[in-house]
């Protein structure tokens, strides 16, 4: 029986498919109705809803990559994945902020340094994933209907907001730079505590709220040549009287425990020849310290250049983060 149907809700592709499966002789009315609907559709202008979608355009992978490099998550927005872009931008923000938020506390120990480096590697991996994901997402999009946010001025506005607002906010990056410095040991005077080519982390703020004590190892510019940085051990404090007798240290006339000092030369030089082994009593001025190397026969220290002013101390070495002898890496400096 040749009956008509409602084809107004059919798409053009569906109408053409229905026409192919409808025999004109058997169903002339239905055939004519389909032909008329197709003809009507082809004469109608193309309607584009500019509020929701625009013409289909392929995504450019290199542009998606560039946008993600400039602002993580923006490449995903370009690919029509705003939710994915927001999530990845949030993950990027967290992984970028966490290492620096806790770095000042972490870097006081070698284990903390390792955690800091692991956090940085996670951040780098997230960053790499974001722009690779944007690139691959653009490659996969064979035909993409533009959304209302796929406008060049939207991308530029987002980049401007991100780059002109300090980000990540309130991170102690400058404090991190000012607090921790790296030094390489170039001599043997502090062996075996510190050996040549040991690389150490020095806390420059260590003595901001502390005063040096006996046995501390400190870094400072040499009083006789401030262009040269020295590292020695504190032996005598301000107001104390220090004296050397046959390589033995006396403070205020009493022999002190000196487990750090060692000598390889069995000869004892008199004070008239050198202050290496024997030194007349010396009162340490206020605001100063007396320092010696652990290797007493191989050093220029307070026996040569006198007391060191506390205000010139650059910091305290905390640990060895790199060394020729790999067994020394991670050692706390005492």
Residue 297, C-beta contacts closer than 8 angstroms, at least 6 positions apart: 263, 264, 265, 276
pLDDT-based confidence at residue 52 (cuts at 50, 70, 90): very low
Is 295 among the domain residues?
Answer: yes
Instruction: For residues 220 and 320, state if they share a domain.
Output: yes
- Domain holding 27, by residue range, is 12-43
Is 333 among the domain residues?
Answer: no
Instruction: For residues 154 and 235, state if they share a domain.
Output: no
Mean pLDDT of 199-218: 95
Is 285 among the domain residues?
Answer: yes
Mean pLDDT of 4-20: 78
Mean pLDDT of 309-327: 96
Instruction: For residues 309 and 202, state if they share a domain.
Output: yes
Instruction: For residues 91 and 234, state if they share a domain.
Output: no
When the pLDDT of each residue in the chain is averaged and rounded to a whole number, the result is 87
SS (H, E, C) 161-187: HHHHCCCCCCCCHHHHHHHEEEEECCC
Is 242 among the domain residues?
Answer: yes
Instruction: For residues 162 and 260, state if they share a domain.
Output: no
Instruction: For residues 35 and 97, state if they share a domain.
Output: no
Instruction: For residues 121 and 100, state if they share a domain.
Output: yes
Q: Which of 142, 173, 227, 232 is catalytic?
A: 232
Is 232 catalytic? The answer is: yes
Domain count, the chain: 3
Is 2 among the domain residues?
Answer: no
Q: How far is CA 329 from the centre of its chain?
A: 21
Is 272 among the domain residues?
Answer: yes
What are 108's two structure tokens? 């006081």
- Tell me the H-state helices in the chain: 12-20, 28-43, 61-70, 74-78, 82-101, 103-106, 110-140, 152-164, 173-179, 302-305
Residue 328: DSSP 8-state = G
pLDDT in tens, 58-89: 889 999 999 999 999 999 999 999 999 999 99
**Could you identify the residue written with the tokens 């938020």?**
101
What are 329's two structure tokens? 């890496």
Instruction: For residues 85 and 201, state if they share a domain.
Output: no
Is 296 among the domain residues?
Answer: yes
Q: 23-32, 123-132, 243-252: lowest mean pLDDT where?
A: 23-32
Q: Which of 93, 111, 147, 189 is catalytic?
A: 189
Is 1 among the domain residues?
Answer: no
Instruction: For residues 276 and 233, state if they share a domain.
Output: yes
**SS3 state at 46:** coil
What are 210's two structure tokens? 């502390």
The CATH number covering residue 191 comes to 2.10.109.10
Q: Indicate the Cα dihedral angle 201, 207, 210, 213, nearest 10°.
A: 70
Q: What is the pLDDT of residue 50?
A: 44
Instruction: For residues 107 and 146, state if they share a domain.
Output: yes
Overall pTM > 0.85? no
CA distance linking residue 261 with residue 239, whole number of Å: 22
Whether 148 and 106 have beta carbons less than 8 Å apart is answered as no
Residue 209 has pLDDT above 50, yes or no: yes
Q: 45-49, 82-86, 102-106, 148-152: lowest mean pLDDT where?
A: 45-49
What is the CB neighbour count within 10 angstroms for residue 309? Answer: 15
Is 299 catalytic? The answer is: no
Whether 219 and 315 have beta carbons less than 8 Å apart is answered as yes
Instruction: For residues 24 and 156, state if they share a domain.
Output: no
Instruction: For residues 217 and 310, state if they share a domain.
Output: yes
Q: Mark which of 171, 200, 233 sits at the end of a domain.
A: 171
């Amino acid at each position: 029986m040749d009956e008509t149907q409602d084809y107004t809700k059919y798409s053009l592709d569906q109408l053409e498919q229905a026409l192919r499966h409808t025999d004109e002789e058997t169903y002339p009315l239905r055939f004519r109705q389909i032909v008329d609907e197709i003809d009507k559709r082809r004469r109608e202008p193309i309607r584009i809803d500019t509020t929701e979608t625009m013409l289909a355009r392929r995504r450019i992978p290199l542009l998606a990559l560039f946008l993600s490099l400039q602002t993580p998550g923006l490449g995903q927005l370009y690919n029509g994945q705003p939710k994915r872009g927001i999530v990845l931008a949030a993950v990027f923000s967290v992984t970028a902020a966490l290492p620096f938020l806790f770095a000042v506390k972490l870097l006081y120990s070698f284990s903390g340094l390792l955690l800091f480096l692991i956090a940085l590697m996670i951040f780098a991996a997230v960053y790499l994933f974001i722009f690779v994901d944007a690139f691959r997402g653009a490659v996969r999009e064979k035909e993409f209907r533009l959304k209302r946010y796929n406008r060049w001025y939207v991308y530029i506005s987002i980049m401007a907001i991100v780059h002109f607002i300090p980000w990540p906010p309130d991170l102690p990056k400058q404090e991190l730079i000012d607090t921790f410095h790296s030094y390489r040991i170039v001599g043997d005077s502090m062996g075996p505590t510190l050996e040549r080519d040991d690389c150490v982390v020095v806390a420059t703020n260590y003595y901001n709220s502390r005063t040096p004590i006996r046995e501390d190892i400190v870094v400072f510019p040499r009083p006789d040549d401030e262009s040269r940085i020295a590292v020695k051990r504190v032996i005598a404090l301000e107001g104390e009287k220090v004296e050397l007798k046959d390589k033995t240290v006396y403070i205020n006339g009493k022999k002190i425990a000196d487990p750090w000092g060692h000598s390889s030369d069995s000869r004892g030089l008199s004070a008239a020849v050198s202050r290496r082994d024997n030194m007349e009593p010396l009162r340490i001025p206020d605001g100063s310290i007396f320092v010696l190397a652990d290797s007493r026969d191989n050093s220029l220290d307070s026996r040569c250049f006198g007391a060191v002013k506390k205000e010139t101390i650059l910091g305290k070495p905390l640990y060895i983060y790199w060394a020729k002898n790999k067994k020394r890496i991670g050692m706390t400096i005492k």
